[in-house]
Structure 1
Amino acid sequence: MARGELRIYLGAAPGVGKTYAMLEEAGRRAERGTDVVVAVVETHGRKDTSAMLGDLEVVPRAAIEYRGTELTEMDLDSVLARRPQVAVVDELAHTNAPGSRNTKRWQDVAELLDAGISVLTTVNIQHLESLNDVVAQITGVEQRETVPDAVVRAAGQVELVDMTPETLRRRMAHGNIYAAEKIDAALGNYFRAGNLTALRELALLWLADKVDEQLDQYRTDHHINATWETRERIVVALTGGPEGDTLIRRAARIAARTRGADLLAVHVSRNDGLAGADPAALAHQQVLVESLGGSYHQVIGSDIPRALLDFARAVNATQIVLGVSSRGKLAQLFSAGVGVTTTALSGSIDVHLVTHERAAQGRRGRREPTALSRRRRIAGFAAVAAGLPALTAVLKSIPALSLTNDILLFLAAVIGVSLIGGLWPALLAAITGSLLLNWFFTPPFGRFTIAEGGHLLALAIFVVIAIAVSWVVDTAARTTRQAAQASADAQTLATVAGSVLRGQRPLTALLERLRETFTLASVTLLDQGVAVAHVGQAQPAARDADVEVKVDDTVTMLLHGHRLEASDRRIVEAFAAQATLALRQERLAAEAAAAKPLAEADRMRTALLAAVSHDLRTPLASAKAAVAGLRSEEVVFDDDDRAELLATADESLDRLTALVTNLLDMSRLQAGALGVNAVDVGAEDVVPRALDDIGPQARSVAVHIPDDLPLVHADPGLLERILVNLITNALRYSPAGKAPVVTASVLGASIELRIIDHGPGIAEDRWNDVFLPFQRLGDRDNHTGVGLGLALARGLTEAMGGTLVPDHTPGGGLTMILTLPTGSST
């Protein structure tokens, strides 16, 4: 069965017309004969949207009982049984009511698609998981309903329903989006022009990335290698040389001239892994390009121009920035160089050759180390001085050998010298051997002349072969040494990187591993002359450091213990660059940690104002209305009316008192200023007082407390408050005929009080949410309380050394388990 197609209408904010556009498309498809049904559409009372339903078939919603309230959701089973060609499913990020088969509506949509049913749906940019925190930072409102980006990216079509902020605010002001009483608050908060502009940009950029993915897939499927200039992408090629900073900044300025341009830095490594660039310089340049908003990449290739162009074409680059060759003029006569070759092969990609201080000055890099040690080279020269005369004497004592044999034996001697001492001793051996062969073994003997042309050719071939073999042997030795050094460097880098990744503090782990690797006494990182990290022995003065590595204008690393070899210093420079990056990350993490409490406090303050603004006004308004009625001289009330008004005022003031008390207790808990006076008290004494505080509605609560239950060690007043909140909550969600139950039992050295209800219960993955302040899960139709009851109950319980956890009630419902220590006298 073919999977259905998903089409998503993406909007920057509510009210831009996503549902309207979706229903327009559904109507067009129905007119063309497509079997279309409306599985669920949220019109939010908008007349124009409701009118778009027209003659479309609407599948009735399923009713779900939740906490005494009937909620409606999409009837997934009915839609699957109906099997239309297209189903209209509004609000993809919607969270289904508890008791539904799937938690999220996008999971319902996945089932429809798997059944071969195409789906038209809608989603706002703020509901995408990856942008949730960004939207919260912009708008100050955290979106709890999210949908994974992968679900939206997998859609066959994503259509942006766009509207300017001014037009959207005008629609809002005309009452086309929200009810009249919500307009002013919406325009002054979420629907501010700046918020809408930022959300619109997020939607456009996200959709642009989606379009880029589709374009890349199309180019791959159709084997298109030519550059399509849909967006400026600037690739800057880095060699690891000091000119890299200049090239990166020049490329960043080019990218900045075009809004939305991408900056990519790439370094092409030789595939032999030997002639690599300076890792410290590359690490520094990676930090620089990322700080300018770009990305760093590394590719491997033997032909650098072609590897660079392959990368540029793969990312659909439009421009390449290269440095002018730093090779000397003589070297450029023999090879065109990377810049010229890349320009010749670039095709439609523009190439910028940027001049710099080292242009055409020749390479002044590090001098390559000799292949063999000094001792080996001395031994090679000694072999020439002693070995060739000895070989000559031996051959002179064997007159039966031909010149060919003599030449082969001298060639073997040259090879032996090259293996011992390398290139220069071998060259000396080749020249010396040719002279000895000429003087002693080529007629006329005793003279540096050759009578026969064949002998001259043989000696010439000997010299050429000897030099060539010497060169090959020396090159092999040099390559072996470089490979060993590269392997050691790679192993060291991998070890250090692994220790950093496993550590809790990357900077300290990096410095400690560096100290251990090179057996240093101490390592210190300075920022603007001040030590920000130190490992090892007591910190020495800067002037006493054995090695000083300057990372940038402000950061320096000091190493104390011994001097390092040049090859080791390269690795240390790379680590110093990574240490600087780790330092910046730690500082950013510290700033984020410092800002988190402020953000949390701001969130709490916003939630408090949102909740209290309604819940304080409601009892105040009721009490004021009752008192005002009693004081009115225009209306004469009988005794029953006066009693009812007084009861209303009394009830409202009780609610207000409870609200203020909860708020004060919560503030004391968060400030750590709540006093706890724990004593040994009987549960059979506290539970009845809690039921009396609740009032007549608590008469139906069943209480089962054993007569031999030990005393509980708790603050009687706080325990009573906890029980009032828990029992009130159980009463609120208990269905008629199934009253809550309070039980008590002994569990080791603790007393467990269970408050059991048989209501709709709460999904296990939401258990922790019920204890968050100002949360009322599922209470969309409930307008009482600010959601502090359970949060306060847990806080008071923990203040007394106990725990409060939820559990499932057998047969359905929620059980709150309150655990407190037993009394000391029991």
Structure 2
Amino acid sequence: MIRPDDGGPDAGRPRRGRLTVYLGAAPGVGKTYAMLDEAHRRLSRGTDVVVGLVEAHGRLATAALLEGLEVLPRRIAPHRGSELTELDVDAVLARAPQVAMIDELAHTNVPGSRHPKRWQDVQDLLDAGIDVVTTVNVQHLESLNDDVEAITGVRQRETVPDHVVRDADQIQLVDLPPEALRRRLAHGNVYRAEQIDASLSQYFRLGNLTALRELALLWLADRVDDSLTSYRREHRIEAPWPARERVVVAVTGGPEGDTLLRRGARIAQRAAGSELLAVHVLATDGLPSAPPATLDEQRRLVESLGGTFHTVVGEDVPSAVVDFARGVNATMIVVGVSRRGRLREALRESNGTEVARLAGMIDVHLVTHEKARTGRRRIRRSPLSGSRVVAGWVTAVLGPVALTGLLAALRDVVGLPTELMLFLALTVLVALVGGLWPAIVSAVVGFVLLNWFFTVPTGMLTIAEPENALALGVFVLVAAGVASVVDVAARRTAEAFRARAEASALAAVSRSVLSGEDTAEALVARLRETFTLEAVALLCRKGPGWEVLAADGAEPALDPESAQAVLTVDDERVLALSGRVLPASDRRVLEAFASQVGIVLEHDRLRAQAEQARVLEQSDATRTALLAAVSHDLRTPLATIRASVDGLELQLEPADRAVLVGTLAEATARLERLIDNLLDLSRLQTGSVRPVLRATSLDEIVPPALEGFGPGAVVLDVPEDLPLVRTDPGLLERVVANLVSNAVRHAGDAGPVRVSAAVVGRGIVLRVVDTGPGVPDQLKGQLFEPFQRLGDTSGTGLGLGLAVARGLATAVGAELSAEDTPGGGLTMLVEVPLAIAPAGAVP
């Protein structure tokens, strides 16, 4: 029965039940007892409560609490010859109580149940609108599984996903001090008497219980913190609530960053459960403000200190830092003393001062460092080319003179306002051509010429009319302002183009690295081409000297000392650059290239290790399977041979002696086949099979391969007029013999094995057809792997026949595949290429 809500915007929708979880810090703390006590309280308030399933584990106090509660019968589940009891979900759904008490949320159900896990059964009840109260221990939470194993040495096989418990409507922590829990255990209140001593000395050691208790508290604290964050967001509370110490460190990518991070870590370590967060603000123009390599080093430092690194985008750095701190409910912001000089500090307040002004209730910790107040000298290089700068200076000097001559000739036509506008236009032109300083010079020269030649009284640097003085003053200010704006726009445009080019180059490198396409040699070549260098070499330290791992260019440097620039890849490798002198602004991209080279080298190393591990794993698996199989399958024929030889030493009748000789021959042949298969597998794995291909007929191959099989076991249907095939007759004979042997063994009494051949396209397809039980589709992928018997319990082979057949077929250029036989069974197909392909044949 599904109960709808009584009203509200979601009226008419099925109500989802509420989940209450009693979380135990360790077994025996009393979570089941607390759950049943809750059931009695709800029952006393008139709530319809039933017990779906409770495990008392022989604890009398727990069992006593079941009295007076309605307990639903359990479902009987047969399993491996015995009968087990499980939660009867259908019975609970049919009963449709308001609240169901269900113990041990992480329990694994008996195979064949509605769901594999009990927590999935609980989800069905919640979806039906039934409230559920359940229990789980902290060691059963999926995310804590590895931590619990490291603490206790016990791997928990029954786990529940964290989100199931974390999303519960209510979580009650059931806890006991470790000493009290050990006393309960010693008094026999948890386990039977014969289990007490072992439990106290193993799982329930004092250190284990203390660590489990701390795990439970920290996990629950994270859940509470999530609830607090949701509450503040829902109620639009922006002011920080100091529920947990959170230290935000503002880093700029400068040299003081390491000092700030370590200071912030020390502050965070003063209180248990504190968090360290580093934040770097990117300007909204998207242009990089700090070297990526430095930020990457500071990111690694934060992670090593147990914190997290965050990057945010903001127009104003102090505001962005404070907004981030408020968003994470920080209690303290750590900033560094400004590196600006005192003069710049007087003109504009530092970021640290502005952060303190904006922080409000958040504490701000100002940290001094070696670079504090040392000043940051910025050398602003013009983004314009040298020819444009020269043209700008020439225009700045000669342009006003030429314009003055032109206006002097038109003195009777134009007035002072027009002359001012023309000089202003000339200043803008100079700014566009040559930048800021030529435009400033052009404005000053224009001011002097306007004053001398066109402002009354002319011929002197005096101005009679105040209005003209104001016009000239405005002209200079406007000219300087326009020139400054034009210069800044030109710089920003050049920086944007440069940043886009850098981003495009790095994105291309990153894509190729992530896709695994680029090698170290390719990256070195790309680095040389991107920066038009003469040579680039990747060097690795080898003893006292250096070894060249990859190089590109005419004469690459053989050691860092002979290079014009050196980039560090890691502790052992560097990039040596030769050619033109690179500007400092290129270091950022160069460092990124060096990082990508390091990633490629690390990727190659990991790939080589993975390949080596794969080969070793495969070899180890083969060796293990070989030892397991050989220990049985070789011993059987050897024992038969030994028994037959011992029997021949006795005085036997001729008939009995003949039987023993036949048995001896059969066991010897079997042993010979086993050893041949093992030798063939070894030769295939070591690549020592050397086929000799020649044109031959199937008549030379198939009949000899069928010798040794009893009469009527194999039916041969190979036409005599088939064309010649190109193969190694001896190896292909082994392929056919193994396939027929495998088919005969599996066919049993189902009928003879049929061997046929026909021309198909550019080859001859040889079919080995049996009508045995066949192979299920899900196992066909393992058909040609070594030591795979796939249901064969005859014990007459190692499971190498098909693996050897596939390897030998590949060696001679044939293709081996399998398909189902119509009506049941398995058909093996061997496609052998023709010696001379027929004209017009379709492959």
Under a length normalisation based on structure 2, what TM-score does the superposition of the two structures give? 0.69
Aligned to 2:588: 570
Match of 2:401 among 375, 385, 389: 389
1:298 aligns with 2:316: no
Match of 1:80 among 93, 97, 105: 93
Deviation at 1:477, TM superposition (A): 0.9
1:61-105 CA deviation, whole Å, 9 max, x = no partner? Answer: 222344544333211111111111111122222222222222221
Deviation at 1:20, TM superposition (A): 2.1
Q: Tell me the matched-pair count.
A: 684
Aligned to 1:545: 563
* Alpha-carbon distance in 2 for matches of 1:421, 1:544: 38
Deviation at 1:706, TM superposition (A): 9.1
Q: Structure 2 counterpart of 1:564, which letter?
A: L
Q: Structure 1 counterpart of 2:220, which letter?
A: L
Aligned to 2:213: 200
1:55 aligns with 2:73: no
- Aligned in 2, Cα 1:714/1:421: closer, same or farther, shift over 3 Å? same
1:119-165 CA deviation, whole Å, 9 max, x = no partner? Answer: 11122223222223333344444333322221111111122222344
Aligned to 1:447: 460
Does the 8 Å CA contact 2:539/2:549 hold for their aligned counterparts? yes
1:131 aligns with 2:144: yes
Match of 1:23 among 20, 29, 36: 36
**1:22-421 alignment, distance < 5 Å:** 22-274=35-287, 276-364=289-377, 367-398=379-410, 399-421=412-434
What's the Cα RMSD here? 5.0
Q: Structure 2 counterpart of 1:131, which letter?
A: L
- Aligned in 2, Cα 1:219/1:534: closer, same or farther, shift over 3 Å? farther
**1:737-776 alignment, distance < 5 Å:** 749=768, 754=773
Aligned to 2:471: 458
* Alpha-carbon distance in 2 for matches of 1:820, 1:49: 64
1:466-486 CA deviation, whole Å, 9 max, x = no partner? Answer: 222111111111121222223
Deviation at 1:425, TM superposition (A): 1.3
Aligned to 2:840: none
- Aligned in 2, Cα 1:345/1:78: closer, same or farther, shift over 3 Å? same
Aligned to 2:645: none
Percent identity, aligned pairs only, is 52
Residue 801 of structure 1 aligns to a residue whose secondary structure is helix
- Aligned in 2, Cα 1:32/1:556: closer, same or farther, shift over 3 Å? farther
> Structure 1: 5+ residue runs without aligned partners?
601-668, 686-704, 724-740, 758-763, 772-788, 804-816
* Alpha-carbon distance in 1 for matches of 2:565, 2:491: 28
Does the 8 Å CA contact 2:569/2:594 hold for their aligned counterparts? yes
1:187-231 CA deviation, whole Å, 9 max, x = no partner? Answer: 454444444433333222211111110111122222222322222
Does the 8 Å CA contact 1:681/1:714 hold for their aligned counterparts? no
Residue 803 of structure 2 aligns to a residue whose secondary structure is coil
* Alpha-carbon distance in 2 for matches of 1:135, 1:598: 31
- Aligned in 2, Cα 1:505/1:473: closer, same or farther, shift over 3 Å? closer
- Aligned in 2, Cα 1:174/1:492: closer, same or farther, shift over 3 Å? farther
1:253-296 CA deviation, whole Å, 9 max, x = no partner? Answer: 12222222111111122222236223222121111111111100
Match of 2:538 among 524, 540, 563: 524
Residue 474 of structure 1 aligns to a residue whose secondary structure is helix
Deviation at 1:455, TM superposition (A): 3.0
* Alpha-carbon distance in 2 for matches of 1:35, 1:252: 53
Aligned to 1:608: none
Aligned to 1:785: none
Q: Structure 1 counterpart of 2:803, which letter?
A: G
Does the 8 Å CA contact 1:264/1:294 hold for their aligned counterparts? yes
Does the 8 Å CA contact 2:246/2:275 hold for their aligned counterparts? yes
Deviation at 1:41, TM superposition (A): 1.9
Residue 425 of structure 1 aligns to a residue whose secondary structure is helix
- Aligned in 2, Cα 1:277/1:350: closer, same or farther, shift over 3 Å? same
1:801 aligns with 2:809: no
Deviation at 1:355, TM superposition (A): 0.7
* Alpha-carbon distance in 2 for matches of 1:430, 1:158: 75
Bigger drift between 231-240 and 431-440 goes to 431-440
1:495 aligns with 2:508: yes
* Alpha-carbon distance in 2 for matches of 1:260, 1:149: 20
**1:464-475 alignment, distance < 5 Å:** 464-475=477-488
Aligned to 2:7: none
Deviation at 1:354, TM superposition (A): 0.8
Deviation at 1:574, TM superposition (A): 4.1
Deviation at 1:794, TM superposition (A): 14
* Alpha-carbon distance in 2 for matches of 1:802, 1:146: 43
Does the 8 Å CA contact 1:802/1:821 hold for their aligned counterparts? no
* Alpha-carbon distance in 2 for matches of 1:474, 1:32: 79
Residue 457 of structure 1 aligns to a residue whose secondary structure is helix
Does the 8 Å CA contact 1:414/1:426 hold for their aligned counterparts? yes
* Alpha-carbon distance in 2 for matches of 1:7, 1:274: 51
* Alpha-carbon distance in 2 for matches of 1:795, 1:301: 72
1:506-548 CA deviation, whole Å, 9 max, x = no partner? Answer: 9999878766755675453768989899554588323233421
Does the 8 Å CA contact 1:61/1:73 hold for their aligned counterparts? yes
Residue 352 of structure 1 aligns to a residue whose secondary structure is strand
Aligned to 1:777: none
1:698-727 CA deviation, whole Å, 9 max, x = no partner? Answer: xxxxxxx9997999849999x99x99xxxx
Residue 470 of structure 2 aligns to a residue whose secondary structure is helix
> Structure 2: 5+ residue runs without aligned partners?
1-13, 619-677, 686-703, 718-735, 756-766, 786-790, 806-824, 833-843
Where relative contact order (Cα < 8 A, 6+ residues apart) is larger, the structure is 1
Does the 8 Å CA contact 2:151/2:208 hold for their aligned counterparts? yes
Does the 8 Å CA contact 1:549/1:556 hold for their aligned counterparts? yes
Residue 16 of structure 1 aligns to a residue whose secondary structure is coil
* Alpha-carbon distance in 2 for matches of 1:215, 1:599: 49
* Alpha-carbon distance in 1 for matches of 2:51, 2:442: 93
Q: Structure 1 counterpart of 2:406, which letter?
A: V
1:439-469 CA deviation, whole Å, 9 max, x = no partner? Answer: 3323344333334333333322222222221
- Aligned in 2, Cα 1:427/1:563: closer, same or farther, shift over 3 Å? closer
1:787-816 CA deviation, whole Å, 9 max, x = no partner? Answer: xx999999954697399xxxxxxxxxxxxx
Residue 285 of structure 2 aligns to a residue whose secondary structure is coil
* Alpha-carbon distance in 2 for matches of 1:414, 1:243: 43
- Aligned in 2, Cα 1:14/1:363: closer, same or farther, shift over 3 Å? same
Deviation at 1:52, TM superposition (A): 2.4
